[in-house]
């Protein structure tokens, strides 16, 4: 409990077995610990809800790990990360007890009561006067009254927080890699940084997790649906414990879908510098990005240089984007020119000055994200005893929306070596 009466939990990741360990040794290697440390902080400074990293220490011992689960283990330096969150409760924390049934169903209720009391006190204190009643759309008599069941109100809030989180991931091109119920926070935080990755070339099917192939269940494009799947599992858990009804569970899932679309469309509009969402414009843009494998982060940063001037000659329209539209032929140039012309029409209609729009766009389109190859460069040096690159990279990621002119190299496209296994594709190995 801090001076603001906020509850914070400290958790050591990699410190060894605990009374609650399921299997394995509970240890972690320096490689995965640096990734967790850097990415949790990078996400915080991007403005995305996340657990935080307080410190990282090496243990001076080696840990044996099989990074790709291919029968080739090796010894790696050990490390421990101290991570911080107001709660580390996950969907799986409830699901495990519901799956056991019997007396364990009472634990689901007790755990839910604890979570609501300490982390959702506004739900504990809500009253009938708040009129939180909603039609489910099934028929005129199907109404969900959230004030009569705190567990239903709680489930809806968790669904909406999760939807908002996933929308923000999509906005910055973050792919978590392992979205099972044990990696979903009830507070709507990004938690457990394993085989994550930020998009380089835009590829909706991108997954950074080597064990996610070939099905790509957790790929970038699937994250919104996987988020909904997790909400369905969580709601089913609470139904098993008789805390919510089928109608209330369905309503929570409806709210997830509505909240995700609202937030995602708002984020895409902000990234484009538009006051309202233009579905056709966005869909065509995403299609173009995928066809030409354009760098996601660098494209949106460069887009702010487009002027709202319909008189710009056609052969000059793509000049502000020349650094990101690489090696495209005549046909693709025509496709992009057509899109930019439509985009400029939207900009003109908005009536916002170029300077104001550029500042607004650059405040939501980061120049720097924690690309996997940057992480790997820092890890390689750290494994040799030099942590200077880890510190330098952290400093850059603390100001992702600033130009930082002397740090331009951290915004570069991945070099050829970055596409080898262990850099662009990782596993859950810790």
Q: 113, 145, 182, 225: which one is catalytic?
A: 182
Residue 253 vs residues 38, 130, 164: alpha-carbon distances, Å: 33, 22, 13
- Tally: H helices and E strands in the chain: 13, 7
Could you tell me the end-to-end alpha-carbon distance of the chain, in angstroms, rounded to an integer?
30
Distance CA 28, CA 20 (A): 17
Contacts of 347 (CB under 8 A, 6+ apart): 273, 274, 306, 308, 357
| Closest C-alpha to 91, from 165, 184, 155 | 184
Q: Which two tokens stand for residue 254?
A: 């409806």
- 263 has catalytic annotation: no
Q: Which two tokens stand for residue 347?
A: 């900009």
Distance CA 367, CA 266 (A): 20
Q: Which two tokens stand for residue 368?
A: 């720097």
Element (H, E) at 242: none
DSSP H stretches of helix in 101-149: 104-119, 121-124
Strand-pair partners of 314: none
Q: Which two tokens stand for residue 38?
A: 């850097």
Q: Are 158 and 234 in contact (CB under 8 A)?
A: yes
Distance CA 13, CA 33 (A): 8
Largest CA distance in the chain: 73
Under the phi-then-psi rule, with left for phi > 0, alpha for psi from -120 to 50, and beta for the rest, what region is 71?
A: left
Q: Are 108 and 98 in contact (CB under 8 A)?
A: yes
Active-site residue set: 182
């Amino acid at each position: 409990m801090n001076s603001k009466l906020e509850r914070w939990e400290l958790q050591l990741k990699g410190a060894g077995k605990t009374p609650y360990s399921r299997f394995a040794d509970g240890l972690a290697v320096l490689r995965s610990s640096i990734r967790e440390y850097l990415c949790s902080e990078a996400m915080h400074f991007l403005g995305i809800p996340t657990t935080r990293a307080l410190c990282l220490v090496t243990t001076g011992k080696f840990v044996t790990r099989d990074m790709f689960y291919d029968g080739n283990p090796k010894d790696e330096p050990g490390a421990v990360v101290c991570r911080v969150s107001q709660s580390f409760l996950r969907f799986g924390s409830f699901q495990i007890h519901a799956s056991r049934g019997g007396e364990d169903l009472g634990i689901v209720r007790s755990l839910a009561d604890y979570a609501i009391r300490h982390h959702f006190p506004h739900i504990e204190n809500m009253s009938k006067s708040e009129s939180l009643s909603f039609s489910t759309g099934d028929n005129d008599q199907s109404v969900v009254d959230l004030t009569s069941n705190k567990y239903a109100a709680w489930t809806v809030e968790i669904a909406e927080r999760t939807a908002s989180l996933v929308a923000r991931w999509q906005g910055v091109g973050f792919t978590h890699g392992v979205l099972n119920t044990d990696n979903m926070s009830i507070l709507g935080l990004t938690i457990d940084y394993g085989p994550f990755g930020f998009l380089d070339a835009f590829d909706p099917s991108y997954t950074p997790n080597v064990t996610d192939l070939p099905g790509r269940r957790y790929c970038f494009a699937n994250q919104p649906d996987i988020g909904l799947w997790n909400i369905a599992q969580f709601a089913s858990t609470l139904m098993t414990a008789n805390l919510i009804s089928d109608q209330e569970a369905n309503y929570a899932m409806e709210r997830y879908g509505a909240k995700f679309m609202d937030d995602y469309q708002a984020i895409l509009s902000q990234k484009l510098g538009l006051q309202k969402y233009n579905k056709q414009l966005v869909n065509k843009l995403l299609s173009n990005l995928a066809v030409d494998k354009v760098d996601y982060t660098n494209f949106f940063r460069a887009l702010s240089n487009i002027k709202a001037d319909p008189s710009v000659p056609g052969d000059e329209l793509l000049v502000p984007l020349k650094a990101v539209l690489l090696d495209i032929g005549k046909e693709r140039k025509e496709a992009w020119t057509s899109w930019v012309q439509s985009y400029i029409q939207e900009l003109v209609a908005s009536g916002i000055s170029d300077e104001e729009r550029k500042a607004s766009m650059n405040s939501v389109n980061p120049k720097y994200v924690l690309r996997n190859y940057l992480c790997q460069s820092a890890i390689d040096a750290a494994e040799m005893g030099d942590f200077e690159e880890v510190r330098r990279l952290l400093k850059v990621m603390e100001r992702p929306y600033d130009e930082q002119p002397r740090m331009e190299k951290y915004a570069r496209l991945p070099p050829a070596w970055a596409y080898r296994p262990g850099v662009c594709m990782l596993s859950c190995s810790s």
